[in-house]
Chains A and B, each alone.
Chain A
Amino acid sequence: MNDMLLSIIGGAEEEAFSFSRLGEQFLKLFSKYHSLGDVFDAIGGYLGKSFAQKALIVGVLIALCAAMLGVSLVLKRFSFIGDGLSHVAFGAMAVASVLGLTQQKMVLILPVTVFTAVLLLKTGKNRKVRGDASLAMLSVGALGVGYILMNVFSTGNVSSDVCTSLFGSTAILSISDFELYLCIGMTILVLAVYILFYHKIFAVTFDPDFASATGTKSEFYNLVTAVVTAIVIVLAMNLVGSLLISALVVFPVLSAMRLCRSFKGVVICSAAVSVGSTAFGIFSAMLISTPVGSTIVVAQIFVFLVFTLIGIFTKKG
C-alpha cells in the first residue's frame, strides 16, 4: 500500500520535474531577447523587411478566406473536406514533381483539386459511396499514391520534401512575387463571391430544400463553394501544410460559434480569430523559430478554449 503511494508521489515528482524542464526549454527560446523592448524591436525590424511583409499579407489573406468558407463547410457537416482536398492536392503535387513541372506546379494541382471538390460537394442522389466514406477513400488514396511517386521518382531529399508538404514549411517566409499576386488575386475573387452571394450562401447552407423549392439554384451555389474551397485549400497548403489545413477551416468557426448568435457574427468573428492566430503564428516563427503551421493551430486551440469558457459563463450569467 505504502509502496504504491510512494510510487504515485514519485511519479508526480517526476512529472513536476519535466514540467519545469519544459518551462526552461521555453524560456531558452527567448534567451536572445533581454527585455520586452527587444522583442518589439525585433518585430519592428522584421516588419521593415519585404519577405516578412509578404509572409504576413499572404498568411492573413489565406486565413481570412479559409475561415469564411469554413463557416458554411462546418455547418454543412463538411468539416473534413479541407483535409481530404489537401491530401488530393498533395498527390497532385507529387505527380507534378515527377513530371518535372517545378515552376508551374499550380497548373496541375489547381484543376485536379477543383475537380475533386466538385465531385465531393455535389449532392448527387445516385452515388454508390456516400459522403464521409468517399472523402476518406480519396484523401488516403491520394496520400499513398503521392508518397510512392515521390519515393520512386524523386531525386532530392524525399523525407524533407514530404515533411514540408505535410506540415507546412518555412517557405511562407520566402514567398515569390508571383505567389503574392496569385494570393491577392484569389482573395479578391473569394471575397467578391462571398459578398455578392452572401444571402444565397446563407439560404443554401441553412436549408437547401427550401432554397431550391423557392427558386434558388442550390446546385450552382454548391458548385461555386466547391471551386472556391479548392482554390483556398491549395493556397493554404503552403502555409500550414496538408495535415493541418482542417484547423484553418474548422477551429475559427467553432470558436466563433461559442460566442456569436447570428450568422453574420459568426462569419466576422471567425475571420478575426483566424487572422489573429495566423499573424501570431508567423511572428512566432520569425522570433523564436517555431514551425508556422503548428503554432497557428496551437493558437487556435487556445482561442477555442477561452471562447468556450466565456460562452459557458455568459450563458449562465
Chain B
Amino acid sequence: MEQLICKNLTLGYDGRAVSKNVSFTVNRGDYLCIVGENGAGKSTLVKALLGLNPPLSGTIEYRVSEKKRAIGYLPQHSDVQRDFPATVREIVLSGNVGKMGLRPFYTRQEKEDARFQMERLGILELQDRCYRDLSGGQKQRVLLARALCATKEMLLLDEPVAGLDPLVTNAMYELISRLNREGVTIIMVSHDIAAAVRYATHILHLGAEPVFFGEKRDYIGTEIGKTFADAAGGDRA
C-alpha cells in the first residue's frame, strides 16, 4: 500500500533549483535510503517532506491513516539541544504534542505509550536522567522514541549515525532495521552508501542525472551505484 507519493519535485531554495524531476513512492514497510553528495538537495528534500519548506514545484502526497502528515522525524543534532535541561521522559512525551490540539495535558494513554516506546528502545532505565548527560547513541534513542510517540507508521531519519562511533553506529542501524521489521516505514537520509546498500530495500540517489530511484538490486546494477558501492569498500552482503 502506498504511503507517500512524490511527483516531479523540483528541490531548491531561493528559487534556485538543486535537483529536478525527483519522483518516488514509498510503500508500507519499505526502507528507503536517500543518498547523494553534499549539496545534492538531501536536506532540502527533508524539509519539503516535513512541510517546513515547500518544494519549488511538484506534489507530495501522504496516504497514512492517522493524519495528513503523520511522519516521525529524527533531526540532526542542533545547538539548542546540547545543554538543554530536560529529562528523557519529558522529551519522549513531547512527541505527543502535535496530536494534542488545545488540550493542555497528556492523557494516560499517551504516557503509557511513551513508556512503551522507551522500553522498546531500551532506555526506560534512563527516563529520569538529564538529556545533556547522555552519550550520543543514547540521545539518538531518546529522539527516536519521541518520533515513535508522534507516529507509528513512518519515520524520517536525517543522518541518524552522524558523530557516533563505529560500534554504536552498528547498534543504531540494527535498531532501525528491527523497527522496520516491526512494521515501521523508514526513510533515511545518509551519506553512508555502504550501509544504505546493506539495510535499505529502496534507494533514491539525488544529484545524479537522471535521479535514480528503485530497488536496491537495480541500484547496485547501475554505473553510479557500482562506483559508490565500490568506493565504500565493496562492503555488501
**For residue B13, which residue of chain A has the nearest CB?**
A125
Best-buried of A206, A212, A213, A261 by chain B (most CB within 10 Å): A213
Instruction: Give Cα A296–Cα B85 distance, bound, in whole angstroms.
Output: 25
Does A35 sit within 8 A of B, measured CB to CB? no
Given A212-B50, A263-B85, A263-B87; A76-B80 close (CB under 8 Å): yes
State the Cβ distance, A258 to closest chain B Cβ, in Å: 10
A200–B90 contact, CB under 8 A? no
Does A290 sit within 8 A of B, measured CB to CB? no
A262–B130 contact, CB under 8 A? yes
B85–A257 contact, CB under 8 A? yes
Given A76-B80, A209-B75, A261-B129; A216-B98 close (CB under 8 Å): yes
Instruction: Give Cα A209–Cα B48 distance, bound, in whole angstroms.
Output: 12
Q: Which of B147-206 contact A (CB under 8 A)?
A: 147, 150-151
**For residue A212, which residue of chain B has the nearest CB?**
B52
Does A307 sit within 8 A of B, measured CB to CB? no
A214–B95 contact, CB under 8 A? yes
- Chain A 207-223, CB-CB to B under 8 Å as 1, else 0, gives 10111111110000000
B105–A199 contact, CB under 8 A? yes
Chain A residues with Cβ below 8 Å from B91 are 206
B75–A210 contact, CB under 8 A? yes
Does B115 sit within 8 A of A, measured CB to CB? no
Instruction: Give Cα A263–Cα B95 distance, bound, in whole angstroms.
Output: 15
Counting chain B residues whose Cβ lies within 8 A of the other chain, the interface size class is: 35 or more
State the Cβ distance, B139 to closest chain A Cβ, in Å: 12
Does B67 sit within 8 A of A, measured CB to CB? yes
Does A197 sit within 8 A of B, measured CB to CB? yes
Does B73 sit within 8 A of A, measured CB to CB? yes
Chain B residues with Cβ below 8 Å from A207 are 75, 78, 80-81, 94
Chain A residues with Cβ below 8 Å from B95 are 214
Given A199-B100, A199-B106, A215-B99; A75-B71 close (CB under 8 Å): no
Instruction: Give Cα A92–Cα B79 distance, bound, in whole angstroms.
Output: 35
B85–A262 contact, CB under 8 A? yes
A202–B98 contact, CB under 8 A? no
Does A195 sit within 8 A of B, measured CB to CB? yes
B104–A198 contact, CB under 8 A? yes
B98–A214 contact, CB under 8 A? yes
A195–B97 contact, CB under 8 A? no
**For residue A204, which residue of chain B has the nearest CB?**
B97
Does A265 sit within 8 A of B, measured CB to CB? yes
Partner of B90, one of A77, A197, A211, A263: A263
What are 21 inter-chain pairs, A to B, with CB distance below 8 A?
A76-B80, A195-B104, A196-B104, A197-B104, A199-B100, A207-B80, A209-B52, A212-B52, A213-B52, A214-B69, A214-B71, A214-B95, A214-B97, A215-B67, A215-B98, A215-B99, A256-B85, A261-B87, A262-B86, A262-B87, A263-B84
B residues whose Cβ falls under 8 Å from a Cβ of A: 50-52, 67, 69, 71-73, 75, 78-81, 83-87, 90-91, 93-95, 97-100, 102, 104-106, 128-130, 133, 146-147, 150-151
A residues whose Cβ falls under 8 Å from a Cβ of B: 75-77, 195-200, 202-203, 205-207, 209-216, 256-257, 260-266
Give the 4 A-B residue pairs with the shortest CB-CB distance, closest first.
Answer: A214-B98, A215-B98, A261-B130, A213-B50
